[in-house]
């Protein structure tokens, strides 16, 4: 299996190494750690960090997420690599993974990570391979295509009824993986030999792989189109990011009032990373400083509360709380 699937095993090794890095850095389920180490995060992509369309396909949130995607990759990735070859496998995996992240980014600015877009690309690629070569596979092709359709429908249905599932990424990966496969899938073609009088002498089936040039051209074209879509979305993303920042600020304030100080500080930090409006900075820093003070992080609290005063919080109640806390901390 190692010899037959070198690219698939390499991807699995990268996924595992990335997961261990996240765990050592603070945990693969910590949102701030995910953002720091390359997760899909709308405000940062809008600021030009387009590399975040690539890194999330190698990241996973929690051990179950890693195991589930690893099993799927072992099954479908292995079949696709043995059918297409390792170069075409990587082309489909990478373009489908990026497409999944582009679709997810287009749908919303929230944090995202995982190989599911790339894996759905594998499903689409295997379906294309079976369909184009159905004459060679006979009735087994129809059965396998039906099974793949069932798997896709079940996963999309689960995504519509379950929280935390990124259907946009699944569909984006499936569409681009399918389109890439239509261009670079191996095909069984029939070569006929004729006599001078145009009488058929012989016929043979030939298994034809795509050339490196074809794979490279298709990959670069897909990346260029996906990048143009990302740039177009990013140019009109300011209002959406500001709305997202306001939502995070509201969550930070709610957590503060409910005495969930760690959550409050985390939401406030995310709000600061999400391109907030200048008018909201005073409020965000006030909430962050108040949460830090309750957690005993006094130096950080004093710094953030001073920043809050410099931005002049528009909410009078928040401003009063920040002033009182800052005065207390300075008088300790």
Name the nearest CA neighbour of 159 among 116, 209, 213.
Answer: 116
Give the pLDDT score at 237.
Answer: 61
State pLDDT tens for residues 13-53: 999 999 999 999 988 888 778 888 999 988 788 888 899 99
Mean pLDDT confidence for 79-95: 94
Confirm or reject CATH 1.10.10.10 for domain 6-235, answering yes or no: no
Chain centroid to CA 217: 24
Q: What is the mean pLDDT of residues 315-326?
A: 83
186-241 tens-digit pLDDT: 887 666 666 666 776 555 666 678 889 999 999 999 999 999 999 888 776 656 66
**Rounded-to-integer distance, Cα 111 and Cα 31, Å:** 7
How far is C-alpha 85 from the chain's CA centre?
25
- Read off the pLDDT of residues 110-167 as tens digits, 9 standing for 90 and up: 788 999 999 999 999 999 998 888 877 777 777 788 888 888 788 777 766 666 677 8
What CATH number matches the domain at 238-330, 3.90.1170.50, 3.40.930.10, 3.40.50.150, 1.25.40.10?
A: 1.25.40.10
pLDDT of residue 206: 66
User: Domain map of the chain by residue range?
Assistant: 6-235, 238-330
The confidence score (pLDDT) of residue 236 equals 63
Highest averaged pLDDT of the listed ranges 63-72, 192-201, 299-308: 63-72
3-state secondary structure of 110: coil
Threshold 0.85, pTM exceeds: no
Give whole-number Cα distances, 177 to 200, 219, 267, in Å.
38, 11, 35
What's the sign of the alpha-carbon dihedral 96, 100, 106, 110?
Answer: negative
């Amino acid at each position: 299996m190692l010899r037959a699937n070198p690219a698939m095993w390499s991807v699995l090794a990268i996924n595992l190494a990335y997961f261990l890095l996240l765990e050592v850095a603070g945990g693969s389920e910590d949102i701030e750690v995910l953002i720091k180490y390359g997760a899909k995060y709308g405000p940062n992509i809008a600021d030009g960090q387009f590399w975040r369309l690539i890194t999330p396909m190698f990241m996973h949130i929690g051990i179950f997420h890693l195991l589930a995607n690893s099993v799927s990759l072992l099954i479908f990735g292995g079949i696709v690599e043995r059918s297409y070859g390792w170069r075409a496998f990587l082309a489909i995996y990478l373009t489908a993974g990026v497409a999944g992240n582009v679709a997810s980014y287009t749908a919303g600015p929230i944090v995202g990570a995982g190989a599911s877009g790339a894996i759905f690309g594998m499903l689409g690629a295997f379906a294309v391979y079976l369909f184009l070569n159905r004459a060679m596979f006979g009735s087994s092709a129809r059965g396998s295509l039906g099974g793949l359709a069932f798997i896709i429908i079940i996963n999309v249905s689960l995504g519509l009824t379950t929280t935390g599932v990124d259907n946009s990424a699944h569909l984006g990966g499936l569409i681009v993986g399918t389109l890439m496969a239509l261009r670079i899938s191996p095909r069984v073609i029939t070569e006929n030999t004729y006599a001078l009088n145009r009488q058929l002498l012989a016929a043979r089936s030939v298994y034809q792989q795509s050339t490196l040039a074809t794979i490279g051209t298709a990959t670069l074209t897909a990346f260029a189109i996906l990048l143009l879509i990302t740039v177009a979305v990013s140019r009109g993303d300011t209002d959406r990011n500001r709305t997202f920042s306001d939502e995070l600020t509201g969550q930070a304030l709610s957590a503060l009032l409910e005495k969930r100080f760690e959550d409050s500080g985390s939401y406030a930090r995310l709000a600061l990373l999400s391109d907030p409006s200048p008018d909201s900075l005073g409020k965000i820093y006030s909430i962050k400083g108040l949460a830090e003070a309750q957690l005993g992080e006094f130096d950080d609290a004093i710094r953030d509360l001073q920043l809050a005063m410099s931005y002049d919080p528009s909410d009078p109640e928040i401003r009063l709380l920040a002033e009182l806390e800052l005065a207390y901390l300075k008088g300790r």
